[in-house]
Amino acid sequence: MDKGSIPRIHRHFRLQWEEAQGCHVLLYPEGMVKLNDSAALILGCVDGVRSVADIIAELTSRFPDVDGIASDIEEFMAAASTRRWLEFD
């Protein structure tokens, strides 16, 4: 993955907090995925402005004690783009 690329939530998906389920979800035509906390945290940083590198830098500084956070983020972003949750400019 090119760390300079800028991810966006794919235009066919919507990220929102669902009180009744106590979690963030991605909504898309006739479907919904529940997100775990780390997925929601990463997707919450995706704003169509920040690059992958920016997001890694931000989360690394917020969670300095978590080992391997950079590779976790990259892995998640790759998986999310295969599932078409993310698109890259």
Partner 1 sequence: MSSIPEASPPLWLLAELTYRCPLQCPYCSNPVEMAAAGEELDTEDWLRVLRQARGLGAAQLGFSGGEPLVRQDLEVLVAEASTLGFYSNLITSGVGLTGDRVRSLREAGLDHIQVSFQSSEPEVSALLSGSPKAFAHKLEMAQAVKAAGYPMVLNFVLHRHNIDQTEQILQLAHELGADYVELANTQYHGWALLNREQLMPTREQLQRAEQVTNAWREAHPDGMRIYFVVPDYFEDRPKPCMNGWAQMFLAVTPDGVALPCHSARNLPLEFPNVQQQDLESIWRHSDAFNAYRGFDWMREPCRSCPEKERDFGGCRCQAFALTGDAAQADPVCTKSNQRSLVDAALGAASAQESGAPGLRYRTLQASKDILARQV
Please report, as ranges, the residues that interact with partner 1 according to CB under 8 A: 11-12, 14, 16, 18-21, 25, 27-32
Q: Least separation, in Å, of the C-beta of 17 and partner 1? A: 9
Strand segments, DSSP code E, in 1-89 are 7-9, 14-18, 23-28, 31-34, 86-88
CB nearer partner 1, residue 16 or residue 61: 16
Residue 55: burial class (beta carbons within 10 Å; 0-12, 13-18, 19+) = buried
CB nearer partner 1, residue 28 or residue 76: 28
Residue 44 tokens read as 């919450």
Q: Least separation, in Å, of the C-beta of 12 and partner 1? A: 4
